[in-house]
Chain A
Amino acid sequence: MALEGLRILDFTRLGFGAQATLICGCLGAEVIRVESTRFPDAIRVMPPFVPEPGERGEAFGAATLANATGAASPNRGGIFYKYNTGGKKSITVNARHPRGLDLLKDLVAHSDVVTESFAAGTLDRWGLSYEVMRAIRPDLIYVSMCGFGHEGPDTDHVTMGPTAQALTGLTFIVGLPDRPPAGWSFSYLDHVGGYLGAIAILAGAMHRGRTGEGQHIDVSQLEPATTLSGALVLDALVNNRPSRRPGFPTGNRRAHPPSGPSGAYRAQGDDKWVVVSCRTQQHWEALVEVMGRPPWAADPRFATVAGRAEHADDLDAHVQAWTSERDRYDVMDALQRAGVPAGAVQDAADRLERDPQLAARGHYTMLGNAEVAPLPLEGVPFRMSATPPHTGGVLHRGPPCLGEDNTAVLAGVLGMSADEIAALEADGALS
């Protein structure tokens, strides 16, 4: 695998940082999660919980970090299984125990990369600042991932994905004209921040390979987002067309390139939708053909792309009258066979149970652990011919139970004997 031999000592929690190390794990890096039995990663202990086979659990709706206590097990938190594939291992170490801290320092000495996603300053307070770690391992690549990063005037600000999305313009650009922004109902930036965290790890490894030099790379959740709005910032600066203006954002309509009909149209069923997106004259003519050449389509207002864009409301009403009597997948397949870009609006259930493309591509991998029966889990969404990534990492295993690898890591990485490990455990250092 591409990153085989790269060892990452991983202190990340929740989504943002864990997304970065799961990517590295899927590419073959050895990822050792350092966890705590006393303060487990919240996504290990908050709903939704993976149910016993044949049962249905609680949905995420009621979850807060505040009510996360009282979970029966730290190994059933569903969201943990989204962000901790890649064959990650788990050890539990009490950093506030002197022997625990020594143990972490030994592990730093044996690691290429340290990753973490705590609030800025947390590792310093443990006695594991970058300066301390660099003294132990001079070529260490230390990648911190937190909302506002470790440098700058506002590093004490508290963020979740939706906070960063609001501040960076991403919330603003999802919405219908002249209504408040709708934004994203989930933390898209936990993913994007994690992708850039993975790039930071890889870039750090590449730089070290060339120069022998380690470094601290400071990843925030804000900077990865500022390029995601494409040309909108330049349009504001150059053409004096700020995004906060009447009629913008434009829902699903796009002015560039001009297109139409283009949007989400109601299909048969309760709140079912299908996207049709004609970007060329050819797409439009093929759509008209599939719809059976209805008389309204011959309206001269709809003859050109410019005309269709100008009269989009009327046009969309006609198209929706046609789609709304049909199944969204039937519309998609009929249009695609005729050469028109179209796609059903799918939710997670559709992706898992109806999407033949994801199934054929092997998008999901069945993985479990000692406590949880195999589930269809996700890794990285690309293939590599010479070094195929695997959702279960080098060892093809599922997300780890809390502390599952204590013995294997301490013996395998640090060469500790069973007696030494037992003594640490008895001393409370492995909690």
Chain B
Amino acid sequence: MSAPLDSVRVLELTDESADYCGRLLAGLGADVVKVEPPDGAPSRHIGPFLDDEPGPDRSLCFWADNVGKRSVVVDDDAEVVALCGSADVLVHTLRPAQAEARGLGFAALHELAPSLVVCAVTPFGSDGPWADYLADDLVLMALGGSMAACGYGPGADGVYDTPPLASHGDQAWRTASTYAAIAVLGALAWRTVSGAGQLIDVSAHECSASMTEWHLMTYLCSGGVHRRGPHPTLTASDGRQVAALNPDFLGPHVFAGMLEMLEREGVAGPLSDPAFADPVHRAGNYREVWRALKRLADKHDGETLYELGQSAGLPWGVIRSPDEVLDDRHLRARGHFVELEHPELGRSMVYAGAPFLAHASPWVMERRPPLLGEHTDEVRAQWAGR
């Protein structure tokens, strides 16, 4: 059994915006080494912290995106450059001028190590009128278009009285990090053919701008823009919400399964009228469908309602908080959650594992996040001479 990136060396010089890229590459089997200053990478100083006590080895933000990596503390840019000479890939979050200043400009690195793949993840990319602008995830979610389409709908007067919303979890950065991993894989594939490295230039803004599904097409086709407002949800007897898309979205056949379930539950009401078999009649009287679904929701808790809907072929999903997902029987059966020992704490932590099942080359999930500088000597010894 081997991993796709076995023996591929990735050097990582990132802040919180692109730590996730290295996590993905580590899962594919790469030896990902995080280069940190003596006080630790920026994400070590972002909370929440273990027991709410700050400290470079206590940041849960750091843990979440750095599991699977090794850590070296290097205070000298010349040594970072030397490590690049032993690496296959460098992922960094430096703007072009910052990279140059540290001797990590692509031209210099390419001369030193012609097969090195360099991937720069920056807010706006290496050039353009906004190249020097500053951004955090919130700014990128605004500019990219997700926020304009996320939030609550307007009040009865048609006026939006609440702001557009961005998701927690830094989705623009995560999308940029994921695209960075894709580009690195593409560059490595090319390197096996050509032997040549190259520079990858990831603009997180462009990444964020390309993840709003059909919004661009709606504008191009109709001149309309998509406004914000939640998907329809049912409130179950325990107060939990269940996302309940209009089943007609899937095709007219779905209604029959839904009606059967509603009749079994004794809440079908007027939907048993054969007129409702006609999708056009249904669309015109969707309020009746919704009323029946609300009667159903009043009878069951959220998880049961979800299963009832699914048993009738409806694309329903109970809205869970991130930690509630740990109880999902399907993900557990797929072996998704992995417990890793943190020996220095005398306890283990649960991490989400493989993003897909590849039985011939399983996702690698063995190392807990590194302590600051834990592998400095080890990496120096192993990487010296290549």
Which residues of B are found within 8 Å of A27, using beta-carbon distances?
186
Interface residues of A in 248-290 (CB under 8 A from B): 249-252, 254-257, 259, 262-266, 271, 273-275, 277, 279
Say yes or no: B221 contacts A67, CB within 8 Å. Answer: no
| Contacts A207-B360, A210-B4, A231-B61 given; does A243 touch B190 at CB 8 Å | no
Say yes or no: B148 contacts A345, CB within 8 Å. Answer: yes
Task: From the candidates A166, A218, A242, A355, name the one contacting B318 in the complex (CB within 8 A).
Answer: A166
Task: From the candidates A78, A152, A376, name the one contacting B218 in the complex (CB within 8 A).
Answer: A78
Q: How far is the CA of A329 from the CA of B152 in the complex (A)?
A: 23
Q: Is A400 an interface residue (CB 8 A)?
A: no
Say yes or no: A82 contacts B221, CB within 8 Å. Answer: no
Q: Is A41 an interface residue (CB 8 A)?
A: no
Q: Is B207 an interface residue (CB 8 A)?
A: yes
What 0/1 pattern do residues 93 to 131 of B give for CB contact below 8 A with A? Answer: 000000000000010000000000000000011011111
Q: Which stretch from A56-64, A95-103, A305-313, A410-418 is at the chain B interface?
A: A56-64
Q: Which stretch from B31-39, B320-328, B371-379 is at the chain A interface?
A: B320-328
Say yes or no: A157 contacts B310, CB within 8 Å. Answer: yes
Which residues of A are found within 8 Å of B219, using beta-carbon distances?
347-349, 352
| Contacts A183-B243, A215-B358, A243-B321 given; does A56 touch B198 at CB 8 Å | no
| Contacts A56-B223, A196-B355 given; does A154 touch B203 at CB 8 Å | no
| Contacts A171-B319, A172-B321, A199-B24 given; does A58 touch B222 at CB 8 Å | yes
Q: How far is the CA of A219 from the CA of B167 in the complex (A)?
A: 24
Report which residue of A219, A250, A355 has the largest number of chain B beta carbons within 10 angstroms of its beta carbon: A355
Say yes or no: A382 contacts B183, CB within 8 Å. Answer: yes
Task: From the candidates A186, A217, A249, A350, name the one contacting B358 in the complex (CB within 8 A).
Answer: A217
Which residues of A are found within 8 Å of B138, using beta-carbon distances?
252, 254, 262-264, 275, 277, 341
Rounded to whole Å, the gap between the CB of A223 and the closest CB of chain B is 5
Say yes or no: A336 contacts B134, CB within 8 Å. Answer: yes
Which residues of A are found within 8 Å of B200, using beta-carbon distances?
382-385
Say yes or no: B226 contacts A163, CB within 8 Å. Answer: no
Q: Is B215 an interface residue (CB 8 A)?
A: yes
Say yes or no: A2 contacts B190, CB within 8 Å. Answer: yes
Interface residues of B in 18-65 (CB under 8 A from A): 20, 23-24, 28, 45-48, 50-52, 59-61, 63-65
Q: Is B237 an interface residue (CB 8 A)?
A: no
Nearest B residue to A215 via CB reads B360
Rounded to whole Å, the gap between the CB of B205 and the closest CB of chain A is 6
Rounded to whole Å, the gap between the CB of B66 and the closest CB of chain A is 11
16 A–B contacts from the bound complex (CB under 8 Å): A59-B218, A163-B315, A166-B317, A182-B228, A185-B150, A217-B356, A226-B325, A236-B321, A250-B168, A263-B138, A271-B160, A271-B227, A277-B139, A343-B135, A348-B219, A380-B183
**6 A-B pairs with least C-beta separation:** A381-B206, A169-B322, A166-B317, A236-B323, A48-B221, A386-B198
- 8 extra interchain contacts, Cβ-Cβ under 8 A, other than A82-B213, A275-B138, A356-B128? A51-B221, A56-B223, A173-B167, A200-B358, A345-B143, A347-B219, A357-B205, A384-B186
